[in-house]
Amino acid sequence: MELKDYLASRRTLIDETLAANLPPADTHPPLIHEAMRYAILGGGKRVRPILAIAAAEAVGADVAPLLVHLCALELIHTYSLVHDDLPALDDDDLRRGRKTTHVVFGEAIGILAGDALLTEAFSWLARPLANVDAARQLRAIADVARAVDSTGMIGGQVADLVAERWEHAPKDRDSLLRELDFIHRNKTGKLLTASVLLGGVLGGASDAQLDALKRYADALGLAFQIVDDLLDIEESSAVLGKTAGKDVAQGKLTWPALLGADHARAEVGRLLAEALENGDRIAGPVNYLGAIARYICERRS
Task: List residues near a copy of itself by CB under 8 A.
Answer: 23, 27-29, 31-33, 36, 79, 83, 86, 88-89, 106-116, 118-120, 122-123, 126-128, 133-135, 137-139, 141-142, 145-146, 148-151, 154-155, 157-159, 161-162, 182
User: In the complex, what is the shortest distance from the CB of residue 265 to a copy of itself, in angstroms, rounded to a whole number?
Assistant: 29
Q: How many CA atoms lie within 13 A of 60 on its CB side?
A: 7
Nearer to a copy of itself, 106 or 260 (CB): 106
Least distance (Å) between residue 264 CB and a copy of itself? 24
Q: Which amino acid is at 273?
A: A
Q: Return the number of the residue (110 or 203) whose C-beta is nearest a copy of itself.
A: 110
201 in Cβ contact with 267 (< 8 Å): no
Q: Is 40 exposed, middle or buried (0-12, 13-18, 19+ CB in 10 A)?
A: buried
Compute the least distance from the CB of residue 191 to a copy of itself, in Å: 11
User: Between 92 and 274, whose beta carbon lies closer to a copy of itself?
Assistant: 92
Measured in degrees and rounded to the nearest 5, phi and psi for residue 64 equal -50, -50
Nearer to a copy of itself, 182 or 295 (CB): 182
Residues in Cβ contact with 84 at an 8 Å cutoff, skipping those fewer than 6 apart: 90, 92, 157
CB of 50 to a copy of itself, least distance (A): 23
For residue 110, how far is the Cα from the chain centroid? 20
CA atoms within 13 A on the CB side of 92: 21
Q: How far is the CB of 116 from a copy of itself (least distance, A)?
A: 4
Which lies closer to a copy of itself via its Cβ, residue 64 or residue 135?
135
